[in-house]
Amino acid sequence: MNVQSWTYIIVGITFALYIGIAIWSRAGTTKEFYVAGGGVSPLANGMATAADWMSAASFISMAGIISFTGYDGSVYLMGWTGGYVLLALLLAPYLRKFGKFTVPDFIGDRYYSKTARIVAVFCALIVSFTYVAGQMRGVGVVFSRFLEVDINTGVIIGMIIVLFYAVLGGMKGITYTQVAQYCVLIFAFMVPAIFISIQMTGNPIPQMGMGATVNDGSGLYLIEKLNGLSTDLGFTAYTDGNKSMLDIFAITLALMVGTAGLPHVIVRFFTVKRVKDARKSAGLALLLIAILYTTAPAVAVFARINLIETVSEKPYMGMPAWFKNWEETGLLSFEDKNGDGNIQYVADTQINELIVDPDIMVLANPEIANLPAWVIALVAAGSLAAALSTAAGLLLVISASVSHDLIKKTFNPNITEKGELIAARLAAVAAVCIAGYFGIHPPGFVAAVVALAFGLAAASFFPAIVLGIFYKRMNKEGAISGMLVGISFMLYYMAKYKLGWLGEIPPPDQWWFGISPEGFGSVAMLLNFMVAILVSIFTPVPPKHIQELVENIRIPNINNNAHEQLPH
Amino acid sequence: MNALNLLITTTNKPFKMIQKTSHKKYWKTNLKYLTILLSIWFLTSYVFGILLVDNLNEIQIWGFPLGFWFAQQGAIYVFVILIFVYVYLMNRLDKANGFDQES
């Protein structure tokens, strides 16, 4: 059977599974719609968080980017996992104790202010929309390559699936589909990695294969070999980077803090029953994420060696089928500059003849390594699971921000439970349509803007939440001015140095302190902290009931709201 | 412990004071755990994986330069362990203070 039939079968089965789960776990109340009723087990929540978190970027792009940047790619590995330590130690248990529905809920209540809530809603919407557009695009690319449908058709199919289970099931439906999606995506990521690790080193554990000797009898370690191949072609050695140490530091910090501040991740910890479950499920989530994140750098090494050995100085006419297939998508291109019919793949852009988009490395890897057709199909299903699970989580944040924070808590407090549920579903439908529109007509800045999402989350939510828990003296004046300063600086820096909205993009030597736009989130976060603390010192202390609220969220079991204690 | 808590939450001033001090102590211990765990978090990622990466790369363990290993593997393993150590410590602390009985 060929790759395409396998893909139709495997993708078809997984989609049927997601829809089945959605029908089984329909949401009947707003509490079920926003937080799955609040009774999700720590393991299920850990799996759902892992799928929620690992997006098309983690599954498809990350290993490819590491493959082409070597040590520099470590910023994603450390940044996107280290954030969970902050989340588990500084945020999750207290937000669970607080026990409401959304992140703006916490900001609005803790800072006793509608303004604070609206600023938080605004940040949540920007972060989530930019992120979701990227997911829809990922869905489109996978469909077009493996099912040979048009990219736009792919986006629309993805929209319908997400629409179905996000609108019907709310958080409850999303949670259990994400559990299934985690299983699909981790299996799909590990199978080819294990196959290739055995092929190249004889060691079935990719994390160990990465440090093992090559299977060709040379006795050379894999990483040594790759360093040699890279420097021979004029690239930097794989284990050295091109970025400055300060920039690596800043990017890692921005990604960690951004991860901890992303509303669609935080809100998952509202779904478990107790404070101790929130801590435990953060640990389980990171454990499940780490399986992929420690495998990805191994895949990066394998894929890079395979790619160089397959193409470098080899005749173009002799290239295998996958090469031609990816050329058709435009993600791989070859131009015979010196007319010798061979592929020169080198660092020097004047001589280099091959341009490879990092996004294709994970998708093409099984083909490059000649793995069976069903493995290739599995990778397609895995990337769809990764993209759809994240998209669904983000859509829920958007819909809850609108129906709960804007409508119920700000503009129309008298709305009935039923009315709010309808509003939540309509908001989800609207959000899917907007996300789909961006998937079909991607603004040129989508890739750039995903980095903005992390920077924004780092610059806005993280300081406001951490100070809200750990600094009783923090008042609304401090928190609001901190968030506004943080976001403004981040938006300004991105607009100027990344998106070029304020005239020509200045060269890297004009970056503030030598920090790239990707890493600027850490600077904006520090500004937020400083402004918030300074302003709060010169303005009135928060009211007594707020100080008591802070004391209460610090202790796991006292003074829970009475309604939280009733059995459901 | 739990009965005491019930008594505390339902009665008057002197008890409230006892409650306050026990809460303060609990919070202080929590902050101590956070400081220790976050120092290790910082050490393995930012210090070993970034600031000292070139020095550590001089040491090779198996096929890995050590600094590179911390940046792409080791830090992640340590993160996972840190969270589970925190879970263990906090569960123990909750129990000692009678905070583990939730509805």
Q: Where is average pLDDT lowest: A185-189, A518-522, A555-559? A: A555-559
Cβ of B83 and A279 within 8 Å? yes
Counted across chains A and B, CB pairs separated by less than 8 A come out at 140
Is B86 an interface residue toward A (CB < 8 Å)?
yes
Q: Across residues B19-44, what is the average pLDDT?
A: 92
Chain A positions touching B79 (Cβ under 8 A) are 81-82, 84-85, 286, 290
Give a yes or no: residue A30 inside a domain: no
> What pLDDT does B9 receive?
53
> What pLDDT does B76 receive?
96
Is B81 an interface residue toward A (CB < 8 Å)?
no
Chain B positions touching A257 (Cβ under 8 A) are none
Give a yes or no: residue A317 inside a domain: no
Residue A425, pLDDT above cutoff 70: yes
Give a yes or no: residue A498 inside a domain: yes
In which band, very low, low, confident or very high, does the pLDDT at B102 lie, cut at 50, 70 and 90?
Answer: low
> What pLDDT does A562 receive?
36
Residues 6+ apart with CB under 8 A from A223: A210, A211, A238, A239, A301, B63, B64, B65, B68
DSSP β-bridge partners for residue A332: A356
Q: Across residues A427-450, what is the average pLDDT?
A: 76
> How many Cβ atoms are within 10 Å of A16's Cβ, its own excluded?
10
A170 CA to chain B: closest CA distance, Å? 25
Residue A146, pLDDT above cutoff 80: no
Q: Across residues A191-203, what is the average pLDDT?
A: 92
Cα separation, A395 vs A389, whole angstroms: 10
Give a yes or no: residue A446 inside a domain: yes
Q: Across residues A282-299, what is the average pLDDT?
A: 95
Q: Across residues A86-112, what is the average pLDDT?
A: 90
Chain A positions touching B75 (Cβ under 8 A) are 77-78, 81-82
Residue A448, pLDDT above cutoff 70: no
Q: Across residues A307-335, what is the average pLDDT?
A: 86
Nearest to B41 among A85, A207, A280 (CB): A85
- Phi/psi zone of residue B98: left (φ > 0), alpha (ψ -120 to 50 degrees), beta? left
Cβ of B63 and A222 within 8 Å? yes
Cβ of A66 and B5 within 8 Å? no
Name the token pair of A272.
């478990």
Cβ of B53 and A71 within 8 Å? yes
Residue A317, pLDDT above cutoff 80: yes
- Phi/psi zone of residue B14: left (φ > 0), alpha (ψ -120 to 50 degrees), beta? alpha
Cβ of A239 and B57 within 8 Å? yes
In which band, very low, low, confident or very high, does the pLDDT at A561 lie, cut at 50, 70 and 90?
Answer: very low
Cβ of B99 and A555 within 8 Å? yes
Write out the residue range of the structural domain in which residue B51 sits: 24-96
Chain B positions touching A71 (Cβ under 8 A) are 53, 68, 71-72
B41 CA to chain A: closest CA distance, Å? 8
Chain A positions touching B80 (Cβ under 8 A) are 283, 286-287, 290
Percentage of chain A surpassing pLDDT 90? 35
Cβ of B53 and A222 within 8 Å? no
CATH assignment at residue A92: 1.20.1730.10
Q: Where is average pLDDT lowest: A97-101, A104-108, A459-463, B17-21? A: B17-21
> How many Cβ atoms are within 10 Å of A229's Cβ, its own excluded?
18
Chain B positions touching A280 (Cβ under 8 A) are 87
Cα separation, A347 vs A112, whole angstroms: 56
DSSP β-bridge partners for residue A554: none
A285 CA to chain B: closest CA distance, Å? 9
Percentage of chain B surpassing pLDDT 70? 80
> What pLDDT does A90 receive?
95
> What pLDDT does A147 receive?
75
Cβ of A551 and B23 within 8 Å? yes
B56 CA to chain A: closest CA distance, Å? 12
Cβ of A557 and B102 within 8 Å? yes
Give a yes or no: residue B19 inside a domain: no
Q: Across residues A324-337, what is the average pLDDT?
A: 84
Name residues 20-79 of chain B within 8 A of A (Cβ): 23, 26-27, 30, 34, 37-38, 41, 45-46, 49-51, 53, 57, 61-65, 68-69, 71-73, 75-77, 79
Residues 6+ apart with CB under 8 A from A122: none
Q: Which residue of B has its CA nearest to A63?
A: B72
Chain B positions touching A89 (Cβ under 8 A) are 34, 37-38, 82-83, 86
> How many Cβ atoms are within 10 Å of B78's Cβ, its own excluded?
20
Mutation for testing the A interface, residue in B80, B89, B91 having most A CBs under 10 Å: B80
Q: Across residues B16-28, what is the average pLDDT?
A: 81
CA torsion angle A517 A455 B47 B81 (round to 10): -150
Q: Across residues A183-195, what is the average pLDDT?
A: 93
Q: Where is average pLDDT lowest: A180-189, A251-260, A428-437, B71-80? A: A428-437
Chain B positions touching A225 (Cβ under 8 A) are none
Q: What are the backbone angles phi and psi of residue A498, rounded to the nearest 5°?
A: -120, -45
Write out the residue range of the structural domain in which residue A403 sits: 3-25+39-310+324-562
Total structural domains in chain B?
Answer: 1
In which band, very low, low, confident or very high, does the pLDDT at B16 lie, cut at 50, 70 and 90?
Answer: low
Concatenated DSSP letters of A35-62:
HGGG-B-HHHHHHHHHHHH--HIIIIII
Mutation for testing the A interface, residue in B15, B58, B87, B95 having most A CBs under 10 Å: B87
Chain B positions touching A551 (Cβ under 8 A) are 23
> How many Cβ atoms are within 10 Å of A43's Cβ, its own excluded?
15
ipTM, 2 dp:
0.90
More confident residue, A181 or A558: A181
Q: Which residue of A has its CA nearest to B101?
A: A557
Q: Which residue of B has its CA nearest to A296?
A: B72
Q: Across residues B35-50, what is the average pLDDT?
A: 96
Sign of the C-alpha dihedral, residues A144, A149, A151, A157?
Answer: negative
Q: Across residues A11-29, what is the average pLDDT?
A: 86
Using alpha carbons, select from A205, A231, A259, A252 the residue that is nearest to residue A90: A259
A279 CA to chain B: closest CA distance, Å? 6
Cα separation, A508 vs A519, whole angstroms: 13
Give a yes or no: residue B88 inside a domain: yes
Nearest to B80 among A77, A286, A551 (CB): A286
Q: Across residues B47-61, what is the average pLDDT?
A: 93
> What pLDDT does A474 receive?
94
Total structural domains in chain A?
Answer: 1
Nearest to A74 among B9, B71, B77 (CB): B71
In which band, very low, low, confident or very high, does the pLDDT at A473 lie, cut at 50, 70 and 90?
Answer: very high
Sign of the C-alpha dihedral, residues A247, A253, A259, A263?
Answer: negative
> What pLDDT does A566 receive?
35
B9 CA to chain A: closest CA distance, Å? 8
More confident residue, A298 or A416: A298
Concatenated DSSP letters of B15-60:
HHHHHHHHHHHHHHHHHHHHHHHHHHHHIIIIIIIIITHHHHHTSE
Cβ of B45 and A82 within 8 Å? yes
Q: Where is average pLDDT lowest: A105-119, A160-174, A179-193, A483-497? A: A160-174
More confident residue, A392 or A134: A392
In which band, very low, low, confident or very high, does the pLDDT at A327 lie, cut at 50, 70 and 90?
Answer: confident
In which band, very low, low, confident or very high, does the pLDDT at A501 lie, cut at 50, 70 and 90?
Answer: confident
> What pLDDT does B1 receive?
46
Give a yes or no: residue A31 inside a domain: no
